[in-house]
Amino acid sequence: MRGIVSCIRPNHRIRGNGLKRKTLLNGESGHLALMLVLSVATQCVALLKSTVTASAFGASMEMDAYNFSNNIILFLFSFLSSGITAVVIPAYVQKRPGEVTDSFLTFLYLLVFGGTGLIYLFREPLIGLLSNRDAAFRQAAADVMLYTIIIQGVTGILAVTTAYYQCANRYNTPKLILLGCNCLAVVLILLDKNLTIPRYLWFLSLAALINLVLDVGIAIKCGLRYRPTCRFRSPGFRQLLAIFLPCVFSTGVYRIHALVDSLIAASLGDGQ
């Protein structure tokens, strides 16, 4: 009888392990399916927003000014996103000391937001230097630059929370929040019967700020911690900086080409 029992027990264990693996696979399949649905839905909402924007403004001088201003700010924030992708995600995965990662993030934010602040303070002479368009275009580009800084700044901060969510296997959380905020922006744009570029950018900024509050709040609740730290002489920080510097050059080459294209487009007439 004992022999029979001993033969039966392993089978139960095997079945139990098989059920656990099936449950895990089903759970992973569900997460992947949800990720696919959220990605497709987000792209559809983005396409709807682009369609509404194109029908409302077309190839106007105001839209050219917004794109010109946005590309200038995006030039700086692209370095932030590349640094987070190449440095912060591996640092989270390798579970480096928090003060090392926090020091690198502090350095990165000081660099990018400090540069952005200088650009905003001297935006009018900078736009005049980079564009040969008339005064109306330069003034329009200067007026919308604050909105572009808010939108790109929120995106830069959310890159950190997105990296944290990826390392915590919560890929769908930022996608779900982004989808909801994009839907809110589209609804506000559609409801506005007298849509202008400043109101359009205000709606985008509002959706971005709501996205920031929800995303950061949930990330903190899940365990994300960040304290501004300036231990820039530590060996760990120097290691992260050594990883980041090659990304600066690779990203810089690409963004310089994109910025040059934007400057050439800005030198043409409206919508050309």
How far, in Å, CA of 128 to CA of 132, rounded? Answer: 7
pLDDT > 90 fraction of the chain, expressed in percent and rounded: 10
pLDDT at 210 over 90: yes
What are the tens digits of pLDDT across the range 15-36? 444 444 444 445 567 777 877 8
Where do the H-state alpha helices sit in the chain? 2-57, 61-83, 89-93, 98-121, 123-130, 135-167, 172-191, 197-222, 235-266
Please tell me which residue, 106 or 25, carries the higher pLDDT value: 106
What's the CA gap between 269 and 261, in Å, rounded? 14
Q: Is the pLDDT score of 136 beyond 50?
A: yes
Highest averaged pLDDT of the listed ranges 47-56, 77-86, 148-157 = 148-157
For the segment 36-45, what is each residue's pLDDT rounded down to a tens digit? 887 888 888 8
CA 261 to chain centroid = 22
Q: For the whole model, what pTM was predicted?
A: 0.77
